Each structure stands twice: as C-alpha cells, then as structure tokens.
Amino acid sequence: MGVSASPRVTSSRNVPKGGGRHQVGQPYTVAGQTFVPREQPNLDVVGQASWYGPAFHGRLTANGEIFDQYHLSGAHPTLPLPSYVRVTNVANGQSALVRINDRGPFSRNRVIDLSRRTAEVLGFKQQGIANVRVQYVGPAPLNGDDTRFLVGAINQLTPYERDMGTRMAYQDIQVAQTPAPTAVDAVAGAVDAPPADVPFQILSYGQGASLDIAADIESEPSGTAVRLDLGNFSDAGHAQMIAREFAVLGAVDQVEYTYEHGSSITLTLSHLREGVTENDVRLLADQLGLTGSF
C-alpha cells in the first residue's frame, strides 16, 4: 500500500492572504500571565516591540490566516483579530499601518510582535527590539490582499486616519482582485461571516508577493526551537482546530499523509513564541484532550 506525505504549509513566494476568522476570543494564560482579548478602540500605548519571521512563515496564525514574514503584519495578545494598528518607532519616527492577525508576544516587557518586513520598514530588524507607539486604527477586512493598501500607508497617514484621528472608514477602499487561494484548503473552511461593524470591504482574495524562504537560514530573533508532536488526525477539520489553538503558542507544522483508502494530518509544534514554556503546551494539550501526545 503506497503512502505519500505532503506539507500543509507553504514556503513559496505566493502566500495566500485572507481565509481566517474574525475573533476576539476567550481569556487564556501563558507563562502564568492571563490575557483577556477584548475590543480596545482607544488603544494608544508605548512599549517594546520584537519581530518574528522564518520559523513561522507559511504557518497558521491564531485566527487561521497564513503568516507571511514579508507582509506588514503582527501579533498582539488581546486585540480583536484581524485589526489594523499604526506602529511608530519612537527613535526614528518611521511608521507603518500593520495588520494584526496573530497572538503574542508573551514576554512581560513587550507590547507587540511584528513581522520581519515590518521590522525592516521601522528600522529595527538588526537590533531585534525597539520602543514603539501602537495606536488602534480599526477592524481589518477578513478576506482580500491588503498589501498595496498597507505599503501606501508607510510613513503616511491614510485619508481616513487624517479625517477621523485614529479611526478609519474603509467603504471606498478597493483592492486588486485575484482568484481565491487554495494552497491550504482547510483554512477556507474556517471563515466566519464578518461582523456587521466592519465597513471595509475588499472585493475578493488576493495573493501577496514575498521572497522564497527556502534558502533563508537566518535564525529567529526570539522564541525557542522545539519538536513536540501534537498527534495524527484523520479528521481534517479537527486537525485545523487543534492547529489554530496551538498557533497561539508557536509555529505548527502540518504534514498530510495520503493512503490508499484515506488520509491523515500530523501536527508538530516546531517553535515556541518568546515567553511560552513547554508547561503552557502541556496545559493546552490537557484542555484539548491531547494528554497522550507528550
């Protein structure tokens, strides 16, 4: 009987955009600290930012999108997903509009974790950390490629920010259209209907360009490389739910095995976010009924 294996993540230059879920989420605890996701329309804080990239590229984010280290995106422990924030490096004044579609950081002295590209734009990739100002802008659209929109807002307030302070009204924004991505089939099945208070509409999915990371040997600036087997699942939907839950804690590798009469998906946690411990992984595994995985 033949068996074939294929990864359910991508390292290609075309990382699918969108395909996640709108979510606020329930309170959760990491490294003894409890985080309470909630609406924060007046968020305006100054604190330390870090960045993440190669170890998470192509893996699921906490809301079921696919992380692209070359996209202007980031992670926040409690903001609704996805959201837009403006991040400004207080040392040099560089600023970017950033899509928040992930959870983290969990180190007590950090307020936001940004993609590799965002760190480059803000001028702190080499240093690894920077003091930044984070201002909530508004809810982000669920689907579509917002790359050009975000690039156009580097070091420049959008008309909506200028007119409405740190709030935005997106009714008139249009984004280039391309066919819906199919690289990770199960992600599309996780899409929820957008809430009624998200006025920004993108007309269809798009795919953003990024560099091929196959030869990217740069080490992750933070976090811990691990190899923790989460299990093998015959139900693809259940596997995706487990992967999204563990994406809060780290990078989840997915490999689909195809047999003569079926298929299964193996999940492996390959990198922990900074501040996350193996005990946090065990606690989540217990909550999800995966105690036999470790």
| pLDDT (tens digit per residue) in 8-46 | 566 776 788 888 999 998 999 998 999 999 999 999 999
Report if residue 185 sits inside a domain. Answer: no
Q: Are residues 234 and 159 in the same domain?
A: no
Average of per-residue pLDDT across 166-171: 42
pLDDT digits (tens, 9 = 90+) for 131-163: 999 999 999 999 889 999 999 999 999 887 887
Q: Which residues span the domain enclosing 201?
A: 10-170+193-209
Helix (H, G, I), strand (E, B) or coil at 17: coil
Report if residue 155 sits inside a domain. Answer: yes
Q: Are residues 289 and 233 in the same domain?
A: yes
Supply the pLDDT for residue 262.
Answer: 86
Q: What is the dihedral of CA 248, 252, 258, 261, to 10 degrees?
A: -30
134 near 74, Cβ under 8 Å? no
Return d(Cα 34, Cα 104) in angstroms, integer.
Answer: 12
Model confidence band, residue 171 (pLDDT cutoffs 50, 70, 90): very low
Q: Are residues 242 and 132 in the same domain?
A: no
Report if residue 33 sits inside a domain. Answer: yes
pLDDT at 117 over 90: yes
Report if residue 45 sits inside a domain. Answer: yes
Could you tell me whether strands 73-75 and 95-102 are parallel, antiparallel, or unpaired per DSSP bridges? parallel
Q: Which residue has the higher pLDDT, 164 or 126?
A: 126
Q: Which residues have C-beta within 8 Å of that of residue 186, sequence separation ≥ 6?
A: 8, 236, 237, 239, 240
Return d(Cα 81, Cα 77) in angstroms, integer.
Answer: 10
Q: Are residues 235 and 154 in the same domain?
A: no
Nearest Cα residue to 72 out of 145, 158, 11: 145
Q: Are residues 125 and 230 in the same domain?
A: no
Q: Are residues 200 and 264 in the same domain?
A: no
Report if residue 147 sits inside a domain. Answer: yes
pLDDT at 183 over 90: no
Token digits of residue 130: 């920077």
pLDDT digits (tens, 9 = 90+) for 228-283: 999 999 999 999 999 999 999 999 999 988 887 888 999 999 999 988 998 999 99
pLDDT at 219 over 90: no
Could you tell me whether strands 129-139 and 224-233 are parallel, antiparallel, or unpaired per DSSP bridges? unpaired
Report if residue 181 sits inside a domain. Answer: no
Model pTM score: 0.76
pLDDT digits (tens, 9 = 90+) for 74-84: 999 999 999 99
Q: Which helix (H) or strand (E) holds 28?
A: strand 28-30
Encode burial over 92-126: b for 16+ CB neighbours within 10 A, e otherwise: eebbbbbbbbbbbbbbeebbbbbbbbbbbbbebbe
Supply the pLDDT for residue 31.
Answer: 87
Q: Are residues 28 and 92 in the same domain?
A: yes
Supply the pLDDT for residue 44.
Answer: 96
95 near 66, Cβ under 8 Å? no
Average of per-residue pLDDT across 156-178: 56
Supply the pLDDT for residue 266.
Answer: 92
Look up residue 25 and give its amino acid.
G
Domain C-terminal end among 180, 209, 238: 209
Number of domains in the chain: 2
Return d(Cα 86, Cα 169) in angstroms, integer.
Answer: 15
Q: Are residues 29 and 93 in the same domain?
A: yes
Least trusted range by pLDDT, from 99-103, 119-123, 149-153, 155-159: 155-159
Report if residue 187 sits inside a domain. Answer: no
Q: Are residues 162 and 230 in the same domain?
A: no
Q: Which residues pair with 52 in a beta bridge?
A: 115
Average of per-residue pLDDT across 192-204: 35
Q: Are residues 228 and 205 in the same domain?
A: no
Supply the pLDDT for residue 178.
Answer: 34
110-124, 216-230, 247-261 — most confident range:
110-124
Supply the pLDDT for residue 3.
Answer: 55
Supply the pLDDT for residue 223.
Answer: 73
Q: Which residues pair with 229 in a beta bridge?
A: 268
Model confidence band, residue 174 (pLDDT cutoffs 50, 70, 90): very low
Nearest Cα residue to 251 out of 6, 9, 7, 5: 9
Average of per-residue pLDDT across 104-124: 95
Q: Are residues 40 and 68 in the same domain?
A: yes
Q: Cα–Cα distances in Å, from 190 out to 63, 217, 224, 236?
A: 9, 32, 28, 11
Q: Are residues 14 and 155 in the same domain?
A: yes
Model confidence band, residue 222 (pLDDT cutoffs 50, 70, 90): low
Instruction: Find the CATH number of the domain harbouring 64.
Output: 2.40.40.10
Return d(Cα 218, Cα 56) in angstroms, integer.
Answer: 12
